[in-house]
Amino acid sequence: MAGLEDLYREIILDHHRNPRNRGELPPPAPHAVGHNPLCGDEIEVYLQVEDGRVTDIKVGGQGCSISQSSASMMSQAIKGKPVADVQALVRRFKGMMSIPDADGNEIEPDPEVKLGDLEALQGVVKYPVRIKCAILGWNTLLEALEQV
């Protein structure tokens, strides 16, 4: 019987092999590019936001399986969601990655915010170098949201 770690590995591989919402959106779509020089990862995020809701997202870039699958899962998780819910999910995900908030405090998990497939990435927290890979798409998403 496959254990939880095998299931998580399978989810990450699936998103790496078949990245969701891959592509780009034409200007003037909010767009940001993020780099993780430690690993050579690059992520591009294109957004379409209408009436306070992320109605479309496209992801481009290249890099390791953690960076690419995390961005793929992110795109799937936020598409169609109100921007406020997206911000809450970013916060929840950063908390799972043990990244403190802007004031340097630990982020308490909000039980109302569901992670879904993103839980597959929780093992990454044991490898601090990989946290930068996992968080890259999310920080790029925040940069793109600032342009909305």
Q: Does 41 help bind Zn ion (rule: CB under 5 A)?
A: yes
User: C-beta of 75: minimal distance to Zn ion in Å?
Assistant: 17
**Closer to Zn ion by Cβ: residue 30 or 63:** 63
For Zn ion (CB under 5 A), the number of binding residues is 5
**Closer to Zn ion by Cβ: residue 21 or 69:** 69
**Closer to Zn ion by Cβ: residue 39 or 107:** 39
Q: Quick one: which segment of 7-15, 49-57, 59-67, 108-116 binds Zn ion (CB under 5 A)? A: 59-67
3-state secondary structure string across the chain? CCCHHHHHHHHHHHHHHCCCCECCCCCCCCEEEEEECCCCEEEEEEEEEECCEEEEEEEEEECCHHHHHHHHHHHHHHCCCEHHHHHHHHHHHHHHCCCCCCCCCCCCCCCCCCCHHHHHHHHHHHCHHHHHHHHHHHHHHHHHHHCC
Which residue type sits at 123?
G
Of 71, 133, 144, 145, the one binding Zn ion (CB under 5 A) is 133
Of 21, 67, 68, 75, the one binding Zn ion (CB under 5 A) is 67
Of 39, 107, 115, 125, the one binding Zn ion (CB under 5 A) is 39
Q: Does 64 help bind Zn ion (rule: CB under 5 A)?
A: yes
Torsion 136-142-147-148 (CA) sign: positive
Residues at the site binding Zn ion, with contacts judged by CB under 5 A? 39, 41, 64, 67, 133
